């Protein structure tokens, strides 16, 4: 609990004692009200996420391979994954985190927007994508394998994120290095079927 929260409750207790109110009853009512509002906010947020998951047309994936995986092995694994019959419309890009020419290729990774196919359960898509990526990263760790449903609006933001200049200016140098790195590795700026 933060200091100002402690001060608030102390002041509330003094007010309640001064008014002759039973502090324990007032405190618990206040605490119940706070807990209910927190629960209600979380519930509404989860409900909104569930609606997006069920009603969205797109999935956004980020894969950060383990350090011992070579770029060639990673590309081969991604090519195999993207070749699944149900994956028909996509936009993806390879990026790296190096900020100097000496660091080029450091922290290479993959971002992808997939259009969800009709009739394929979301859980089956997650399982298949996870199985495809588990030889290059720990798919149970969202820092290495992150997948989520996104809304139409979020899809438009992600398209800009992976094909244009990033909003975070700190990433602009990395993006400049991405261009050099992709040329060296004979990679396209992005790979696209049906999204753009």
Residue 181 in tokens:
């790195």
The tokens 């990033």 sit on which residue?
Answer: 166
Selected from 3.30.70, 1.10.357, 1.20.120, 1.10.150, the CATH number assigned to the domain covering 57-193 reads: 3.30.70
Beta strands 191-193 and 109-115 are unpaired
pLDDT band of residue 18 (cuts 50, 70, 90) is low
Cα distance between residue 44 and residue 158, in whole Å: 24
Cα distance between residue 122 and residue 77, in whole Å: 21
Mean residue pLDDT of the chain comes to 83
Report the pLDDT value the prediction gives residue 1, as an integer from 0 to 100: 46
Q: What is the mean pLDDT of residues 174-188?
A: 93
Q: Work out the number of other CB atoms within 10 angstroms of the CB of residue 69.
A: 15
Q: pTM to 2 decimals?
A: 0.72
HEC readout, 138-195: CCCCCCCEEEEEECHHHHHHHHHHHHCCCCCHHHHHHHHHHHHHHHHHCCCCCEEEEC
Q: What is the pLDDT of residues 35-69, one digit of tens each?
A: 777 777 776 666 665 665 667 899 999 999 999 99
* 83-165-87 Cα angle (round to 5): 15
Q: What is the mean pLDDT of residues 23-42?
A: 68
Q: How many CA atoms lie within 13 A of 91 on its CB side?
A: 18
Report the pLDDT value the prediction gives residue 195, as an integer from 0 to 100: 84
Buried residues in 83-115 as b, exposed as e (16+ CB within 10 A): eeeebebbbbbbbbbbbeeeebeeebbbbbbbb
Q: What is the pLDDT of residues 59-109, one digit of tens each?
A: 999 999 999 999 999 999 999 999 999 999 999 999 999 999 999 999 999
């Amino acid at each position: 609990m933060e200091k100002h929260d402690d001060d608030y409750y102390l002041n509330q207790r003094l007010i309640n004692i001064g008014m002759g109110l039973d502090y324990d009853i007032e405190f618990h009512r206040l605490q119940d009200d706070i807990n209910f509002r927190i629960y209600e906010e979380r519930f509404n947020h989860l409900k909104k996420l569930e609606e997006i998951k069920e009603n969205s047309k797109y999935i956004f994936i980020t894969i950060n391979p383990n350090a011992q995986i070579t770029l060639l092995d990673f590309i081969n694994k991604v090519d195999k994954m993207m070749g699944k019959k149900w994956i028909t419309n996509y936009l993806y890009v390879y990026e790296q985190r190096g900020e100097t020419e000496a660091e080029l290729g450091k922290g290479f990774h993959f971002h992808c927007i997939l259009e969800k196919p009709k009739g394929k359960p979301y859980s089956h898509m997650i399982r298949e994508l996870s199985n495809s990526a588990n030889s290059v990263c720990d798919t149970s760790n969202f820092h290495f394998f992150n997948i989520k449903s996104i809304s139409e609006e979020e899809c438009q933001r992600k398209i800009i994120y992976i094909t244009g200049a990033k909003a975070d200016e700190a990433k602009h140098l990395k993006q400049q290095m991405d261009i050099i790195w992709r040329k060296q590795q004979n990679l396209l700026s992005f790979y696209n079927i049906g999204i753009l």
